[in-house]
Amino acid sequence: MKTSRIIFHIDMNCFFASCEIAENPDLFGKPVVIAHDDPFQRSIILSPSYEARAFGIKTTMQVREAFKLCKDIIVVEPDMNIYSSYSKQFNDYLLKISPKVKMASIDEAYIDVTDVKIPALELAKKIQDDLIRDLHLPCSIGIAPNKFLAKMASDMKKPLGITVLRKREIDKYLWPLPIEEMQGIGKKTAPKMRELGIKTIGDLANFKDFDALKNKIGLINATGLVQRANGIDDSSVDYSNNDGVFSVSNSHTFDHNIYEEKILKDTLKVLANTVANRLQKKNIQAYTIGIQIKYANFRQINRSRSLEKATNDEYEIFKIVSTILDDNFEEGKSTFNIKEDDNCIRLLGVFANRVIESSEQPVTQISIFDNLSELEKKVELKKILDGVKDKFGTTSINQGYYEYRNSDTDKTDKK
């Protein structure tokens, strides 16, 4: 009999503010906000303490707006060295419980505790108590049979919440939530959902016109989101980086803040090509493709998509990371625009993990619905490229792409 997995998602509460309070206990119980020291108070808040949040102060709010809500807020300059140190201590602590730990960002992690011989609720309470006692950091924990439900559960009760979300309970606790609150639904995907009449997670789970959804947000995105809305997520807690298993990545740090979408997309193309080329050289393919974004305000995120079929195709990789970027970036409008301050980017990266040898990839079955002429073209093109590489060396040529936009049809084609 197959044992059901037990996955924790642990989300550190008000992480930057909590770290500063841990370093300076005099800040405890006071309305603290983490933000750059700006004489014009135009900087945005990276993390408000819960005492500050009680006044309505939120992340990304400008400091001057926060002072209107509470004249007694304490503004603390961010120190990424401190936050990185606490993040490492957090990770090291979790690794003592199980090797199956994956840091999702600087302040959140997944841990597979299926094999840990302690009841889940008891273990979650122990983790909370240990982190408060040893690091003075509060956290919320979601407990579920998969990563998606665990992530959703950890958001349901803050601070210091412990929430169990079982698959059989999603109609009661998950489906009534607005579609914007679903993990994987970004600020650009949500309006597209609402255009189709999808207002809640339940609406998505039970949406009947899959073709319309696919046409609106893409096949890969649509398939994954519908599955997760129904509580299905077979992705593992990928802890490959913890034990040295191979993964491929590449990143670029810009000389200045970037908020133009075209520059970011052009950079993604180069990064996708590079990652694909490295995968191809190693004769491996990846089941997980993602991007790393570091914003100018120190916020950092990693976002990824799990694939049913592993890939090392540069065009496929670019399509995936481009979609992820769309949901995590809004083009700025002016130098002092708050949206630009929140969204302008300093570093962009592409990564691929959960890799397999290309020879282990299951054979693709061609169906009567496939475009055979396109398949034949790809096979012939690969033969030509392989021939050039055999004669002039493996680095002599690689398949790339550019985008051709037809102004009449507004259709982007691969060339």
DSSP code at position 279: H
User: What digits encode the pLDDT tens for the residues 295-304?
Assistant: 887 777 888 8
Give yes or no for residue 227 having a pLDDT over 60: yes
**Does 238 reside within a domain?**
no
Average pLDDT for residues 400-404, to the nearest whole number?
A: 44
2 by DSSP, 3-state: which? Answer: coil
**Does 239 reside within a domain?**
no
Instruction: Identify whether residues 286 and 387 lie together within a single domain.
Output: no
The CATH number linked to 305 is 3.30.1490.100
Which residues are designated catalytic?
108
Output the six-digit token pair for 271: 């990064």
pLDDT of residue 372: 42
Instruction: Identify whether residues 142 and 23 lie together within a single domain.
Output: yes
Query: Distance between CA atoms of 50 and 138, rounded to whole angstroms?
Result: 11
Count of domains forming the chain: 4
Instruction: Identify whether residues 90 and 8 lie together within a single domain.
Output: yes
CA 250 to chain centre: 16
User: What digits encode the pLDDT tens for the residues 196-226?
Assistant: 999 999 999 999 999 999 999 988 889 999 9
Instruction: Identify whether residues 45 and 142 lie together within a single domain.
Output: yes
Contact status, residue 123 vs residue 7, Cβ threshold 8 Å:
no
Instruction: Identify whether residues 155 and 194 lie together within a single domain.
Output: no
Give yes or no for residue 151 having a pLDDT over 50: yes
**Does 403 reside within a domain?**
yes
User: Residue 372: which domain range?
Assistant: 367-415
pLDDT of residue 247: 76
Q: Which contiguous run of DSSP H or E holds residue 263?
A: helix 261-282
**Strand segments (E) across 134-278:** 139-144, 162-164, 248-258
Contact status, residue 353 vs residue 286, Cβ threshold 8 Å:
yes
Contact status, residue 413 vs residue 374, Cβ threshold 8 Å:
no
Round the average pLDDT of the chain to a whole number and report it.
83
Instruction: Identify whether residues 21 and 107 lie together within a single domain.
Output: yes
Question: Starting at the edge strand that comes first in sequence, how are the strands of the sheet with 32-34 ordered?
Answer: 47-48, 32-34, 74-76
pLDDT of residue 241: 54
User: What digits encode the pLDDT tens for the residues 342-401?
Assistant: 568 889 999 988 777 775 555 444 343 444 444 445 545 555 665 665 555 544 555 554
Task: Give percent above pLDDT 70 in the chain.
Answer: 80
User: What digits encode the pLDDT tens for the residues 95-116?
Assistant: 999 999 988 888 999 999 999 9
Give yes or no for residue 409 having a pLDDT over 60: no
The CATH number linked to 114 is 3.30.70.270
Parallel, antiparallel, or unpaired for β 162-164 and 139-144?
parallel
φ, ψ for residue 378 (rounded to 5)?
Answer: -65, -40
Instruction: Identify whether residues 4 and 109 lie together within a single domain.
Output: yes
pLDDT of residue 272: 93
Output the six-digit token pair for 147: 């990563």
DSSP code at position 329: -
pLDDT band at 150 (very low <50, low <70, confident <90, very high): very high
Query: Distance between CA atoms of 116 and 99, rounded to whole angstroms?
Result: 11
Instruction: Identify whether residues 6 and 136 lie together within a single domain.
Output: yes
Average pLDDT for residues 267-271, to the nearest whole number?
A: 92
Report the predicted TM-score, pTM, of the whole model to 2 decimal places: 0.67
pLDDT of residue 126: 97
Instruction: Identify whether residues 201 and 84 lie together within a single domain.
Output: no
φ, ψ for residue 328 (rounded to 5)?
Answer: -130, 20
pLDDT band at 71 (very low <50, low <70, confident <90, very high): very high
Give yes or no for residue 316 having a pLDDT over 80: yes
Query: Distance between CA atoms of 375 and 364, rounded to whole angstroms?
Result: 11
Instruction: Identify whether residues 104 and 156 lie together within a single domain.
Output: yes
Give yes or no for residue 281 having a pLDDT over 90: no
**Does 145 reside within a domain?**
yes
405 by DSSP, 3-state: which? Answer: strand
Instruction: Identify whether residues 71 and 99 lie together within a single domain.
Output: yes
Query: Distance between CA atoms of 1 and 352, rounded to whole angstroms?
Result: 33
Average pLDDT for residues 279-285, to the nearest whole number?
A: 87
Instruction: Identify whether residues 103 and 4 lie together within a single domain.
Output: yes
Query: Distance between CA atoms of 411 and 265, rounded to whole angstroms?
Result: 17
Q: Pick the range with the lowest mean pLDDT from 58-72, 179-193, 376-390, 391-405.
A: 391-405
Buried residues in 200-221 as b, exposed as e (16+ CB within 10 A) = bbbbbbebeeeeebeebbbebb
Q: What is the CA radius of gyration of the chain?
A: 23
**Does 328 reside within a domain?**
yes
